[in-house]
Amino acid sequence: MFFSLFPLLFTTVQRADCLRDSIDARSYSDGKERTSYIELRYGKEDLIADFDCTSFYYY
């Protein structure tokens, strides 16, 4: 019976290791605030930067 549970235990440990790596990669930790999704908008500064880059390119 033990031999039939060994692959299940091994797979569970492998999945836990992958989950730990993904949590580390996303920098989740206790006490840290998570970032929220902010939709970016095209503003006046972007227009000025586009104009500067375009004029430099054609110069």
Q: Which residue has the higher pLDDT, 30 or 51?
A: 51
Structure tokens at 12: 């569970």
- Average pLDDT rounded to a whole number, residues 16-24: 89
Instruction: Output the average pLDDT for the chain.
Output: 84
User: Does 20 score more than 70 pLDDT?
Assistant: yes
